[in-house]
Protein backbone atom coordinates (compact mmCIF):
# COMPACT_ATOMS: atom_id res chain seq x y z
CA UNK A 1 0.00 0.00 0.00
CA UNK A 2 2.70 2.37 0.97
CA UNK A 3 4.67 1.57 -2.12
CA UNK A 4 1.70 2.25 -4.28
CA UNK A 5 1.00 5.60 -2.60
CA UNK A 6 4.57 6.80 -2.89
CA UNK A 7 4.83 5.77 -6.50
CA UNK A 8 1.86 8.01 -7.31
CA UNK A 9 4.07 11.08 -7.32
CA UNK A 10 5.74 10.45 -10.62
CA UNK A 11 2.39 9.41 -11.98
CA UNK A 12 0.88 12.81 -11.22
CA UNK A 13 3.48 14.47 -13.39
CA UNK A 14 2.09 12.56 -16.35
CA UNK A 15 -1.40 13.99 -15.92
CA UNK A 16 -2.14 16.71 -18.52
CA UNK A 17 -2.44 20.31 -17.23
CA UNK A 18 -1.05 19.27 -13.87
CA UNK A 19 2.19 20.58 -12.48
CA UNK A 20 3.77 20.41 -9.05
CA UNK A 21 4.88 23.51 -7.23
CA UNK A 22 7.97 22.48 -5.31
CA UNK A 23 8.07 25.61 -3.20
CA UNK A 24 4.52 25.41 -2.03
CA UNK A 25 3.83 21.69 -2.11
CA UNK A 26 4.26 19.69 1.04
CA UNK A 27 4.22 16.02 1.95
CA UNK A 28 2.99 14.98 5.40
CA UNK A 29 2.96 11.63 6.91
CA UNK A 30 0.65 10.62 9.68
CA UNK A 31 0.54 7.31 11.52
CA UNK A 32 -1.02 6.14 14.74
CA UNK A 33 1.20 5.76 17.71
CA UNK A 34 1.95 2.12 17.30
CA UNK A 35 4.86 -0.16 17.11
CA UNK A 36 6.56 -0.95 13.88
CA UNK A 37 5.17 -4.38 14.08
CA UNK A 38 1.61 -3.12 13.97
CA UNK A 39 -0.58 -4.62 11.34
CA UNK A 40 -1.89 -1.25 10.09
CA UNK A 41 0.05 0.07 7.13
CA UNK A 42 1.54 3.57 6.83
CA UNK A 43 -0.48 6.19 4.91
CA UNK A 44 1.05 9.18 3.11
CA UNK A 45 -1.12 12.33 2.68
CA UNK A 46 -0.03 14.66 -0.15
CA UNK A 47 -1.54 18.19 -0.18
CA UNK A 48 -0.89 21.24 -2.36
CA UNK A 49 -1.28 24.95 -1.52
CA UNK A 50 -4.11 26.72 -3.36
CA UNK A 51 -3.02 28.69 -6.42
CA UNK A 52 -2.22 32.37 -5.98
CA UNK A 53 -5.13 34.54 -7.15
CA UNK A 54 -4.30 36.38 -10.35
CA UNK A 55 -5.37 39.99 -10.97
CA UNK A 56 -7.42 40.70 -14.11
CA UNK A 57 -5.29 41.61 -17.13
CA UNK A 58 -4.73 45.32 -17.48
CA UNK A 59 -5.59 46.97 -20.78
CA UNK A 60 -2.73 47.17 -23.16
CA UNK A 61 -1.80 50.81 -23.55
CA UNK A 62 -1.05 52.41 -26.89
CA UNK A 63 2.54 53.01 -25.83
CA UNK A 64 4.69 52.34 -22.76
CA UNK A 65 6.06 54.92 -20.37
CA UNK A 66 9.08 53.82 -18.26
CA UNK A 67 9.89 55.70 -15.09
CA UNK A 68 13.36 56.30 -13.74
CA UNK A 69 13.05 53.34 -11.35
CA UNK A 70 12.45 50.97 -14.21
CA UNK A 71 8.75 50.39 -13.52
CA UNK A 72 6.07 51.14 -16.10
CA UNK A 73 4.44 54.53 -15.72
CA UNK A 74 0.90 54.57 -17.07
CA UNK A 75 -1.03 57.81 -17.69
CA UNK A 76 -4.66 56.91 -18.29
CA UNK A 77 -7.01 58.63 -20.77
CA UNK A 78 -10.53 57.29 -20.81
CA UNK A 79 -12.40 58.08 -24.01
CA UNK A 80 -15.34 56.60 -25.85
CA UNK A 81 -14.45 54.80 -29.05
CA UNK A 82 -16.28 54.71 -32.36
CA UNK A 83 -18.22 51.66 -31.17
CA UNK A 84 -19.61 53.63 -28.21
CA UNK A 85 -17.57 51.82 -25.53
CA UNK A 86 -15.20 53.43 -23.09
CA UNK A 87 -11.57 52.58 -23.66
CA UNK A 88 -8.37 53.28 -21.78
CA UNK A 89 -5.63 55.13 -23.68
CA UNK A 90 -2.11 56.07 -22.78
CA UNK A 91 -2.31 59.36 -24.67
CA UNK A 92 -5.09 61.83 -25.55
CA UNK A 93 -7.27 60.76 -28.49
CA UNK A 94 -6.71 62.61 -31.76
CA UNK A 95 -10.24 64.04 -31.91
CA UNK A 96 -9.85 65.46 -28.39
CA UNK A 97 -6.68 67.30 -29.39
CA UNK A 98 -8.42 68.53 -32.57
CA UNK A 99 -11.38 69.88 -30.60
CA UNK A 100 -9.06 71.66 -28.16
CA UNK A 101 -7.20 73.34 -31.01
CA UNK A 102 -10.39 74.65 -32.65
CA UNK A 103 -12.16 75.60 -29.43
CA UNK A 104 -13.12 79.29 -29.15
CA UNK A 105 -11.68 80.27 -25.80
CA UNK A 106 -12.70 83.93 -26.20
CA UNK A 107 -10.84 86.85 -24.73
CA UNK A 108 -10.22 87.77 -21.14
CA UNK A 109 -12.50 90.48 -19.84
CA UNK A 110 -10.74 93.39 -18.30
CA UNK A 111 -11.91 94.60 -14.93
CA UNK A 112 -12.47 98.07 -16.35
CA UNK A 113 -14.74 96.81 -19.13
CA UNK A 114 -18.47 96.82 -18.49
CA UNK A 115 -20.09 93.46 -17.83
CA UNK A 116 -23.69 94.47 -18.30
CA UNK A 117 -25.39 93.80 -21.61
CA UNK A 118 -26.78 97.29 -21.85
CA UNK A 119 -23.38 98.96 -21.70
CA UNK A 120 -21.22 99.30 -24.76
CA UNK A 121 -17.52 98.87 -25.08
CA UNK A 122 -16.00 102.25 -25.82
CA UNK A 123 -12.29 101.62 -26.34
CA UNK A 124 -10.21 98.69 -27.38
CA UNK A 125 -12.87 97.15 -29.60
CA UNK A 126 -11.81 94.06 -31.50
CA UNK A 127 -12.22 94.16 -35.26
CA UNK A 128 -15.00 92.02 -36.64
CA UNK A 129 -12.64 90.29 -39.06
CA UNK A 130 -9.01 89.35 -38.66
CA UNK A 131 -6.22 90.82 -40.75
CA UNK A 132 -5.86 87.55 -42.64
CA UNK A 133 -9.57 87.57 -43.53
CA UNK A 134 -9.44 91.19 -44.69
CA UNK A 135 -6.31 90.47 -46.74
CA UNK A 136 -7.99 87.47 -48.36
CA UNK A 137 -11.04 89.58 -49.22
CA UNK A 138 -8.95 92.38 -50.70
CA UNK A 139 -6.96 89.96 -52.84
CA UNK A 140 -9.93 87.98 -54.14
CA UNK A 141 -13.11 90.04 -53.98
CA UNK A 142 -12.08 93.66 -54.04
CA UNK A 143 -12.98 95.79 -57.05
CA UNK A 144 -10.50 95.64 -59.87
CA UNK A 145 -8.34 98.70 -60.67
CA UNK A 146 -10.11 101.25 -62.86
CA UNK A 147 -8.99 103.78 -65.43
CA UNK A 148 -7.48 106.92 -63.96
CA UNK A 149 -9.90 109.29 -65.70
CA UNK A 150 -12.84 107.26 -64.41
CA UNK A 151 -11.50 107.31 -60.86
CA UNK A 152 -11.06 111.09 -60.98
CA UNK A 153 -14.61 111.54 -62.27
CA UNK A 154 -16.02 109.21 -59.60
CA UNK A 155 -14.11 111.10 -56.90
CA UNK A 156 -15.80 114.34 -57.98
CA UNK A 157 -12.70 116.03 -59.35
CA UNK A 158 -14.26 116.85 -62.73
CA UNK A 159 -16.15 115.25 -65.57
CA UNK A 160 -14.48 112.42 -67.42
CA UNK A 161 -13.54 114.66 -70.32
CA UNK A 162 -12.18 117.38 -68.02
CA UNK A 163 -10.27 114.73 -66.08
CA UNK A 164 -8.57 113.66 -69.28
CA UNK A 165 -7.50 117.26 -69.88
CA UNK A 166 -6.01 117.40 -66.37
CA UNK A 167 -4.09 114.19 -67.03
CA UNK A 168 -2.78 115.37 -70.40
CA UNK A 169 -1.77 118.66 -68.76
CA UNK A 170 0.54 116.83 -66.32
CA UNK A 171 -1.45 117.88 -63.24
CA UNK A 172 -2.03 114.32 -61.99
CA UNK A 173 0.59 112.20 -60.23
CA UNK A 174 0.34 108.52 -59.31
CA UNK A 175 2.70 107.21 -56.62
CA UNK A 176 4.96 110.24 -57.02
CA UNK A 177 5.23 110.13 -60.83
CA UNK A 178 3.39 112.30 -63.34
CA UNK A 179 0.86 110.23 -65.29
CA UNK A 180 -0.13 111.38 -68.78
CA UNK A 181 -2.23 108.34 -69.75
CA UNK A 182 -5.95 108.43 -68.84
CA UNK A 183 -6.24 104.66 -69.38
CA UNK A 184 -3.76 103.86 -66.60
CA UNK A 185 -5.27 101.37 -64.14
CA UNK A 186 -5.20 102.60 -60.55
CA UNK A 187 -6.66 101.61 -57.20
CA UNK A 188 -7.47 104.58 -54.93
CA UNK A 189 -7.15 102.34 -51.88
CA UNK A 190 -3.54 101.43 -52.66
CA UNK A 191 -2.18 104.06 -55.06
CA UNK A 192 -1.32 107.60 -53.94
CA UNK A 193 -2.98 110.03 -56.38
CA UNK A 194 -2.57 113.80 -56.37
CA UNK A 195 -4.50 116.29 -58.51
CA UNK A 196 -3.18 119.86 -58.57
CA UNK A 197 -1.28 119.15 -55.36
CA UNK A 198 -4.33 117.80 -53.51
CA UNK A 199 -4.45 114.19 -52.33
CA UNK A 200 -7.28 112.11 -53.76
CA UNK A 201 -9.18 110.37 -50.92
CA UNK A 202 -8.79 106.62 -50.64
CA UNK A 203 -12.52 106.11 -50.26
CA UNK A 204 -14.65 106.97 -53.26
CA UNK A 205 -18.10 108.45 -52.68
CA UNK A 206 -21.03 106.05 -52.86
CA UNK A 207 -23.28 105.84 -55.88
CA UNK A 208 -26.21 108.26 -55.74
CA UNK A 209 -29.40 108.02 -57.84
CA UNK A 210 -31.97 110.84 -57.63
CA UNK A 211 -35.14 111.69 -59.54
CA UNK A 212 -35.80 115.43 -59.96
CA UNK A 213 -38.93 117.25 -60.99
CA UNK A 214 -37.18 119.92 -63.04
CA UNK A 215 -38.90 123.33 -63.15
CA UNK A 216 -39.06 125.45 -66.26
CA UNK A 217 -36.19 127.91 -66.72
CA UNK A 218 -33.33 125.67 -65.51
CA UNK A 219 -30.65 124.27 -67.79
CA UNK A 220 -29.04 120.86 -67.34
CA UNK A 221 -25.55 121.66 -68.61
CA UNK A 222 -22.97 123.88 -66.95
CA UNK A 223 -23.84 127.39 -68.13
CA UNK A 224 -22.90 130.95 -67.34
CA UNK A 225 -23.45 132.85 -64.13
CA UNK A 226 -26.71 134.32 -65.36
CA UNK A 227 -28.27 130.91 -66.07
CA UNK A 228 -30.06 128.84 -63.45
CA UNK A 229 -28.52 125.39 -63.23
CA UNK A 230 -30.33 122.19 -62.34
CA UNK A 231 -27.50 121.20 -59.97
CA UNK A 232 -28.15 124.36 -57.92
CA UNK A 233 -31.35 122.68 -56.76
CA UNK A 234 -29.16 120.20 -54.84
CA UNK A 235 -27.19 122.76 -52.83
CA UNK A 236 -29.00 121.90 -49.60
CA UNK A 237 -28.55 118.21 -50.29
CA UNK A 238 -24.80 118.62 -50.77
CA UNK A 239 -24.36 120.96 -47.81
CA UNK A 240 -25.92 118.41 -45.46
CA UNK A 241 -23.93 115.53 -46.93
CA UNK A 242 -21.30 115.59 -44.18
CA UNK A 243 -23.93 115.21 -41.45
CA UNK A 244 -25.69 112.34 -43.18
CA UNK A 245 -22.51 110.59 -44.33
CA UNK A 246 -19.65 111.48 -41.98
CA UNK A 247 -16.20 110.74 -43.31
CA UNK A 248 -17.43 110.03 -46.86
CA UNK A 249 -16.36 112.24 -49.81
CA UNK A 250 -19.08 114.22 -51.55
CA UNK A 251 -20.26 112.90 -54.91
CA UNK A 252 -20.06 114.93 -58.09
CA UNK A 253 -23.60 114.98 -59.47
CA UNK A 254 -24.61 115.33 -63.11
CA UNK A 255 -27.78 114.80 -65.09
CA UNK A 256 -28.62 111.76 -67.20
CA UNK A 257 -29.45 113.31 -70.54
CA UNK A 258 -30.94 116.76 -70.84
CA UNK A 259 -34.17 118.68 -70.89
CA UNK A 260 -34.25 122.04 -72.63
CA UNK A 261 -34.74 125.16 -70.58
CA UNK A 262 -38.46 125.41 -71.40
CA UNK A 263 -39.25 121.75 -70.62
CA UNK A 264 -40.08 120.55 -67.14
CA UNK A 265 -40.55 117.14 -65.56
CA UNK A 266 -38.58 114.02 -64.81
CA UNK A 267 -34.80 113.98 -65.05
CA UNK A 268 -32.35 111.59 -63.36
CA UNK A 269 -29.35 112.96 -61.45
CA UNK A 270 -26.50 110.68 -60.41
CA UNK A 271 -22.73 110.31 -60.06
CA UNK A 272 -22.57 106.88 -61.75
CA UNK A 273 -21.09 107.21 -65.22
CA UNK A 274 -21.76 103.59 -66.17
CA UNK A 275 -25.40 103.98 -65.22
CA UNK A 276 -25.67 107.15 -67.28
CA UNK A 277 -24.14 105.56 -70.35
CA UNK A 278 -26.36 102.50 -70.00
CA UNK A 279 -29.74 104.19 -69.93
CA UNK A 280 -28.73 107.00 -72.31
CA UNK A 281 -27.45 104.74 -75.05
CA UNK A 282 -29.93 104.02 -77.89
CA UNK A 283 -29.47 100.29 -77.32
CA UNK A 284 -31.31 100.67 -74.00
CA UNK A 285 -34.46 101.40 -76.05
CA UNK A 286 -36.09 103.24 -73.15
CA UNK A 287 -39.34 104.97 -74.01
CA UNK A 288 -40.00 108.50 -72.77
CA UNK A 289 -43.47 109.89 -72.21
CA UNK A 290 -44.31 113.60 -72.53
CA UNK A 291 -47.43 115.63 -71.86
CA UNK A 292 -47.67 118.53 -74.34
CA UNK A 293 -50.14 121.35 -73.77
CA UNK A 294 -50.81 123.00 -77.13
CA UNK A 295 -52.50 126.17 -78.33
CA UNK A 296 -55.72 126.07 -80.35
CA UNK A 297 -57.83 123.07 -81.24
CA UNK A 298 -56.51 119.65 -82.16
CA UNK A 299 -58.11 117.86 -85.11
CA UNK A 300 -57.67 114.48 -86.68
CA UNK A 301 -55.26 115.78 -89.29
CA UNK A 302 -52.95 116.97 -86.52
CA UNK A 303 -52.88 113.51 -84.94
CA UNK A 304 -52.18 111.89 -88.32
CA UNK A 305 -49.31 114.29 -88.96
CA UNK A 306 -47.87 113.57 -85.54
CA UNK A 307 -48.05 109.80 -86.11
CA UNK A 308 -46.24 110.06 -89.44
CA UNK A 309 -43.23 111.71 -87.79
CA UNK A 310 -40.73 114.21 -89.09
CA UNK A 311 -37.05 114.74 -89.84
CA UNK A 312 -34.86 115.58 -86.80
CA UNK A 313 -31.10 116.02 -87.24
CA UNK A 314 -31.28 114.36 -90.62
CA UNK A 315 -33.09 111.28 -89.29
CA UNK A 316 -36.78 110.48 -89.75
CA UNK A 317 -38.26 110.14 -86.25
CA UNK A 318 -41.63 108.49 -85.64
CA UNK A 319 -43.30 108.55 -82.21
CA UNK A 320 -44.34 105.30 -80.56
CA UNK A 321 -47.82 106.61 -79.77
CA UNK A 322 -49.86 109.85 -79.90
CA UNK A 323 -53.04 110.36 -77.88
CA UNK A 324 -55.36 113.28 -77.29
CA UNK A 325 -56.17 113.37 -73.58
CA UNK A 326 -59.61 114.30 -72.20
CA UNK A 327 -60.12 117.88 -71.14
CA UNK A 328 -59.71 118.89 -67.51
CA UNK A 329 -61.74 121.61 -65.78
CA UNK A 330 -58.68 123.53 -64.62
CA UNK A 331 -56.88 123.33 -67.99
CA UNK A 332 -58.54 124.98 -70.94
CA UNK A 333 -55.97 124.00 -73.55
CA UNK A 334 -55.84 120.51 -75.14
CA UNK A 335 -53.23 118.04 -73.97
CA UNK A 336 -51.37 115.46 -76.02
CA UNK A 337 -49.60 112.37 -74.69
CA UNK A 338 -46.60 111.63 -76.91
CA UNK A 339 -44.27 108.63 -76.39
CA UNK A 340 -40.88 108.48 -78.11
CA UNK A 341 -37.87 106.21 -77.62
CA UNK A 342 -35.04 107.83 -79.59
CA UNK A 343 -34.91 110.98 -77.46
CA UNK A 344 -33.24 113.24 -79.98
CA UNK A 345 -32.72 116.91 -79.24
CA UNK A 346 -36.07 118.80 -79.35
CA UNK A 347 -37.71 115.74 -80.92
CA UNK A 348 -41.17 116.25 -79.38
CA UNK A 349 -41.18 119.94 -80.14
CA UNK A 350 -40.26 119.26 -83.78
CA UNK A 351 -43.04 116.67 -84.07
CA UNK A 352 -45.66 119.08 -82.74
CA UNK A 353 -44.35 121.92 -84.90
CA UNK A 354 -44.41 119.75 -88.03
CA UNK A 355 -48.06 118.86 -87.33
CA UNK A 356 -49.00 122.57 -87.42
CA UNK A 357 -49.44 123.02 -83.66
CA UNK A 358 -47.76 125.31 -81.13
CA UNK A 359 -46.60 124.05 -77.74
CA UNK A 360 -47.64 126.01 -74.68
CA UNK A 361 -45.83 123.77 -72.15
CA UNK A 362 -44.03 120.43 -72.27
CA UNK A 363 -43.41 118.03 -69.40
CA UNK A 364 -41.73 114.64 -69.26
CA UNK A 365 -43.53 112.24 -66.91
CA UNK A 366 -41.92 108.84 -67.53
CA UNK A 367 -38.60 107.22 -68.45
CA UNK A 368 -38.74 103.50 -69.14
CA UNK A 369 -40.77 101.88 -66.39
CA UNK A 370 -40.29 104.71 -63.87
CA UNK A 371 -42.95 107.38 -63.65
CA UNK A 372 -42.55 110.78 -61.99
CA UNK A 373 -44.32 110.74 -58.61
CA UNK A 374 -47.48 112.83 -58.76
CA UNK A 375 -46.83 114.37 -55.33
CA UNK A 376 -43.27 115.49 -56.13
CA UNK A 377 -43.25 119.27 -56.36
CA UNK A 378 -41.25 121.39 -58.79
CA UNK A 379 -37.57 121.56 -57.86
CA UNK A 380 -37.89 118.61 -55.46
CA UNK A 381 -36.08 115.31 -55.71
CA UNK A 382 -36.39 111.79 -54.34
CA UNK A 383 -33.85 109.00 -53.99
CA UNK A 384 -34.41 106.03 -56.28
CA UNK A 385 -34.92 102.59 -54.79
CA UNK A 386 -33.49 99.39 -56.29
CA UNK A 387 -36.91 98.62 -57.80
CA UNK A 388 -36.89 102.05 -59.48
CA UNK A 389 -33.44 101.43 -60.94
CA UNK A 390 -34.61 98.08 -62.23
CA UNK A 391 -37.55 99.83 -63.90
CA UNK A 392 -35.02 102.08 -65.63
CA UNK A 393 -33.21 99.04 -66.99
CA UNK A 394 -30.27 99.06 -64.58
CA UNK A 395 -29.47 95.50 -63.47
CA UNK A 396 -26.35 96.16 -61.40
Q: Per residue in 107-121, pLDDT tens?
A: 555 555 444 444 444
Rounded Cα gap, residues 180 and 174, in angstroms: 10
Q: Per residue in 322-356, pLDDT tens?
A: 999 998 888 889 999 999 987 788 899 999 999 99
* Class of domain 146-199 as given by CATH: alpha beta
CATH superfamily placement of domain 287-367: Alpha-L RNA-binding motif (3.30.70.1560)
**CA-closest candidate to residue 212, choices 270, 153, 283, 134:** 270
Q: What is the pLDDT of residue 118?
A: 45
pLDDT band for position 106 (50/70/90)? low
Percent of the chain with pLDDT over 70: 69
Q: What is the pLDDT of residue 237?
A: 93
Which among 260, 274, 313, 320 is annotated as catalytic? 260
Q: What is the pLDDT of residue 48?
A: 56
User: Domain locations in the chain?
Assistant: 146-199, 209-281+376-391, 287-367
Q: Which CATH architecture has domain 209-281+376-391?
A: 2-Layer Sandwich (3.30)
Average pLDDT over residues 99-106: 63
Identical fold for domains 209-281+376-391 and 287-367, yes or no, is yes
Q: What is the mean pLDDT of the chain?
A: 77
Weakest-pLDDT range from 17-26, 92-101, 170-179, 332-341: 17-26
Q: What is the pLDDT of residue 52?
A: 60
Q: Per residue in 169-214, pLDDT tens?
A: 999 999 989 999 888 999 888 889 999 888 888 888 889 999 999 9
**pLDDT greater than 60 at residue 372:** yes
**pLDDT greater than 60 at residue 26:** no
**pLDDT greater than 80 at residue 362:** yes
62 part of the active site:
no
Amino acid sequence: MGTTAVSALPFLSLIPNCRLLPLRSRITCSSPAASPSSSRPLRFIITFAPPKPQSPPSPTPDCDFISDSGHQLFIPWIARGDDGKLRLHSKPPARLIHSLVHEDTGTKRSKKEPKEKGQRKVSGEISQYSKAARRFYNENFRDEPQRLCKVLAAAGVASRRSSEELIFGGKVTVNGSVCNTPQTRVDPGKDVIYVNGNRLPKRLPPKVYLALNKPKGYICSAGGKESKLVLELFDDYMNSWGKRNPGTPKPRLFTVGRLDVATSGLIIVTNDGDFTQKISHPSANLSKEYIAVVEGDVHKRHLVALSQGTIVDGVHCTPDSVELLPKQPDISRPRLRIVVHEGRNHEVRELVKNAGLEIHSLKRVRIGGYRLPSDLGHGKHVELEPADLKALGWKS
